[in-house]
Amino acid sequence: MNNSPLIMIIDDDKTMVTMLNRALEHNGYRVITALHGRIALAAFQKAKPDLVLLDIMMPGINGMQVLNTIRQQSHVPVIMLSAAHDQDWLQQALIAGADDYLKKPFSIREMIARINAKIRRVNFTKEHTPKKDMVACSSAGKN
């Protein structure tokens, strides 16, 4: 069983998805992809990825709507991707709960570095969060 982190790519641009998929797999990540928002939300619930790369501009359910739905059920790191260079999109994405934002075109090396940082932070938090039983035991004897 492969324990490497699972990255979900949600983007309607097939060429972009193929490029990102190859780069991520080359860097040791497992990858799942979705080309549409509705498909992405169903796949997200099943797969429970460790990080999501999410395009803002998609037909049907756009990236902001997908992000809002993801945030209702998960704290998974989300990096927004967009060709739009409008500061309003950046601000809206971050306010809505995105963890980071990359403007297309972007450097694959920079994307991998950002993903590594987010995954490292999530793993550190998991490893350093006290277990409920330990908290209850340590506070049980205090008056």
In a domain, 18, yes or no: yes
Mean pLDDT, rounded, for 110-139: 75
pLDDT at 143: 47
Which ranges of 1-143 would DSSP assign to H, the alpha helix?
A: 14-26, 37-47, 63-73, 87-96, 108-127, 132-140
* CATH code for the domain of 110: 3.40.50.2300
In a domain, 39, yes or no: yes
- Distance, in Å, from the CA atom of 65 to the CA atom of 35, rounded to the nearest integer, reads 14
In a domain, 91, yes or no: yes
pLDDT at 1: 53
Is 22:54 a contact under the CB 8 Å cutoff? no
Smallest CA-to-CA distance from 35 within 9, 56, 53 is with 9
Mean pLDDT, rounded, for 58-65: 92
Between 63 and 124, name the one with better pLDDT: 63
* Max CA distance (Å), the chain: 62
pLDDT in tens, 88-105: 888 889 999 999 999 999
In a domain, 45, yes or no: yes
pLDDT in tens, 106-115: 999 999 999 9
Q: What percent of the chain has pLDDT over 70?
A: 87
Q: In sequence order, what are the residues at sequence separation of 6 or more whose Cβ sits closer than 8 angstroms to the Cβ of residue 138?
A: none
pLDDT at 26: 97
Q: Could you tell me the strand order of the sheet in which 6-10 lies?
A: 30-34, 6-10, 51-55, 78-82, 100-103
Domain range for 32 is 6-140
Mean pLDDT, rounded, for 79-87: 85
User: DSSP code of 93?
Assistant: H
In a domain, 16, yes or no: yes
Smallest CA-to-CA distance from 56 within 113, 7, 10, 6 is with 10
Domain count, the chain: 1
pLDDT at 87: 80
pTM: 0.86
Omega before 130 cis (within 30°)? no
In a domain, 33, yes or no: yes
pLDDT in tens, 26-53: 999 999 999 999 999 999 999 999 999 9
Is 52:78 a contact under the CB 8 Å cutoff? yes
In a domain, 1, yes or no: no
